[in-house]
Amino acid sequence: MTIDSAEVLVASPGRNFVTLRITTSDGVTGLGDATVNGRELAVASYLRDHVVPLILGRDEHRIEDTWQYLYRGAYWRRGPITMAAIAAVDTALWDIKAKHAGMPLYQLLGGKSREGCLAYGHASGRDVPELFDSIRQHQAEGFRAIRVQTGIPGLDSVYGVAASAFAGAGGTARYDHEPARRGAQPVEERWDTRAYLRHAPTVFEAVRNEFGPELPLLHDAHHRLTPIQAAKLGKSLEPYDLFWLEDVTPAENQAALRLVREHTTTPLAIGEVFNTIWDYRELIENQLIDYVRSPVTHAGGITALRRIFDYAGIYQIKSGMHGPTDISPVGMAAALHLGIALHNFGIQEYMTHSPITDEVFQPTYRFSEGLLIPGDSPGLGVSYLDEVANANPYDQAYLPVNRLMDGTVHDW
C-alpha cells in the first residue's frame, strides 16, 4: 500500500487553515494541520511544490523514515514553514496508521495515561469587572484552569483581550479573542512595558481576592519583555501563585531564561513559536522552564513532538501544548491523542473554534468538566467536509505588528 494522493486544502471557515489530506492506494485517508497564522500560503506552496511530489508512491507505514527523509533530505532544516509541512505529513500518516489498526490514535502512542486532558480557557476583559465576568463565564462552561489577560490603562488594544471588547475592532462576540485580522496589511498596536509591569500584579491580586487561592491561573506575556523585566514580573506575581507565566521574553535567546529563573519561582512556559528540539536544548537541560508550549502543528508532528516531551520528562518538565484557534481541529485532535498518552502531560490550551470551523472538521473530541477527551473512532477522529470548506475561500489575514509608544517596532 502506498500514498496515492496528497491534497493541500486551503480554506477560511471562520479563519484560515491549511490542511493536508493524504489518500492511500487502498482508499484510507489521513489529515494533517499545516496552518501557520498569517503565512498560510507559504506553507501551502512548500507542501504542494516540494513535499507532495516526494511522498507520492511512498509506503504510508514508514512514518519515521518519511520524517527523516523530509527533514534531513531537504538540506535546509528547521523553521516554521518546513516544520509545519513535515508536521502535516507526519500527522496524516499517524491518522492513516491508526485507521488501519482500527484504533483511536492514542492507543498506538501507548494508550491512556489519564481520563482526560486538563484544559485552560482564555478569560479576558478591558478592565477588572469585565475580566471577572469572563472568568465566571468560563467557570460556568466547566473550565477548571483559566488564563487571565486584561486591558492596560492608556493602551487602546492589548494582546489576549477579546477584540470585540475594543470599540471598532471588528469582533463579533464578547470573548472571541482572534488576533489575526483580515486585510491586506497587519493592524498596528501600541505597547508600554512599564504600564504593563505596574498593572499586571494589581489584576492578579484582584482575581485572587475574588476567586480564592485554588483556581489555577495562567498568564501570557507574549514575548515582550527583556530578561530583567521578565524577572521583575515573575517576582511580582509570586504572591498570586500562577500555574504558569508564558513567553516572558522573545524565545530566540535561550540563555535569557537563566536570568529570569534566578530571580523567580513563578513557573515558566515557553515555546509556541519553537519548531524543533534544538530550540529547547538549553532550556530543558538547564531546567530553566517548567512547561513546553509546542503544538503538534508547528514542531514537526507527533513523531518529533513526542521526542521533545520525552526529553523534557527526564527533567520533570511537562507539556502545555499551544491550542489557539489557529491550531485547526486536526492539530487539536493530534494534541489530545498525544496528551492523553504522555506521562508528563501538564495542561492543554483550549480556545474553542467557531461553529463553522467545527462544521468543516467535525471533531469527535469533547470537553467535559474541564477536561478534553479525544474521540474513540479509529485515527484522529476528525473529518474534512470539502463542500463547506470550499464555500469559505482563503481570505488574507495577518497577526498584528507591535510598536512602542515612540513608534519603535517591538515584539508582538
Q: Which residues in this chain contact ligand KDG in the complex, by CB under 6 A?
A: 37, 179, 220, 222, 272, 322, 324, 326, 349, 399
Dihedral sign computed on CA atoms, order 48, 50, 52, 56: positive
Q: How far is the CB of 293 from ligand KDG (least distance, A)?
A: 7
Task: Name, in order, each residue with C-beta under 8 angstroms of 160's C-beta and a sequence gap of 6 or more.
Answer: 122, 124, 147, 149, 177, 220, 222
Nearer residue to ligand KDG within complex by CB, 290 or 349: 349
For the question of residue 75 being annotated catalytic, the response is no
Catalytic residue (choose from 122, 222, 298, 353): 222
Residue 290 near which of ligand KDG, Mg ion, none (CB within 5-8 Å, type-dependent): none
Partner whose footprint covers residue 375, from ligand KDG, Mg ion, none (CB < 5 to 8 Å by kind): none
* Among Mg ion, ligand KDG, none, partner that 349 touches (CB below 5 to 8 angstroms by kind): ligand KDG
Q: For cell 515612540, what's the residue?
A: 406
Could you tell which of Mg ion, ligand KDG, none binds residue 179, using a CB distance below 5 to 8 A set by kind? ligand KDG
* 220 part of the interface to Mg ion, by CB under 5 A: yes
Structural contact between residues 282 and 252, judged by C-beta atoms closer than 8 angstroms: no
Cα dihedral: 268, 270, 276, 278 (round 10): -50
| Only segment of 195-203, 217-225, 263-271, 298-306 that touches Mg ion (CB under 5 A) | 217-225
CA atoms of 89 and 391, how far apart (whole Å) = 25
Give the total residue count for the chain: 412
x/- track of binding to Mg ion for residues 238-277 (CB under 5 A): ----------------------------------x-----
Contact 204/211 with Cβ under 8 angstroms?
no
Question: In the complex with ligand KDG, which residue's Cβ is closer, 69 or 367?
Answer: 367
Residue type, 202: T
Cβ closest to ligand KDG, residue 37 vs residue 236: 37
The closest of 81, 84, 70 to 299, measured between CA atoms, is: 84
**Catalytic position from the list 159, 175, 240, 291:** 159
* Cβ-based nearer residue to ligand KDG, 37 or 303: 37
Q: Are the C-beta atoms of 291 and 268 separated by less than 8 Å?
A: yes
E-only strand ranges, 204-349: 217-220, 244-246, 268-270, 291-292, 318-321, 345-349
Residues 300-359 touching Mg ion, rule: CB under 5 A, are: none
* Contact string (CB under 5 A) for Mg ion, positions 57-96, x = contact: ----------------------------------------
Cα 112–Cα 382–Cα 323 angle in degrees, nearest 5: 70
- As measured in angstroms, the least distance from the Cβ of 216 to Mg ion is 16
Instruction: Judge whether 159 counts as a catalytic residue.
Output: yes
- The least CB distance from residue 98 to ligand KDG, in Å, is 27
| Smaller CB separation from Mg ion, 157 or 303 | 157
Q: What's the grid cell of residue 38?
A: 498569517
**CA distance from start to end of the chain:** 46
User: Cβ contacts of residue 154 below 8 Å, gap of 6+?
Assistant: 192, 195
> How far is Cα 154 from Cα 196, in angstroms, rounded to an integer?
10
Instruction: Tell me which of ligand KDG, Mg ion, none is bound by residue 324, counting a contact when its beta carbon lies within the kind-specific cut-off of 5 to 8 angstroms.
Output: ligand KDG
Q: Which residue is nearest to Mg ion (CB)?
A: 220
Under DSSP, is residue 335 helix (H, G, I), strand (E, B) or coil? helix
Q: Please tell me the distance from the alpha carbon of residue 410 to that of residue 258, in angstroms, as a whole number.
A: 22
Residue 223 interacts, among ligand KDG, Mg ion, none and using kind-specific CB cut-offs from 5 to 8 Å, with none
Nearer to ligand KDG, 116 or 121 (CB): 121
On whether the CB atoms of residues 342 and 319 are closer than 8 A, the answer is yes
Q: Which does 178 bind (CB under 5 to 8 A by kind): Mg ion, ligand KDG, none?
A: none
Indicate the residue among 40 and 272 with the shorter CB distance to Mg ion: 272
Closest among 329, 343, 351, 298 to 120, alpha carbons compared = 351
The nearer residue to Mg ion, 272 or 279, going by C-beta atoms, is 272
Q: Which does 37 bind (CB under 5 to 8 A by kind): Mg ion, ligand KDG, none?
A: ligand KDG
Minimum CB–partner distance for residue 222 and ligand KDG (Å): 6
- Smallest distance from ligand KDG to CB 251, Å: 12
Beta bridge partners of residue 189, listed in sequence order: 402
- By annotation, the residues acting in catalysis are 159, 222
Please report, as ranges, the residues that interact with Mg ion according to CB under 5 A.
Answer: 220, 272
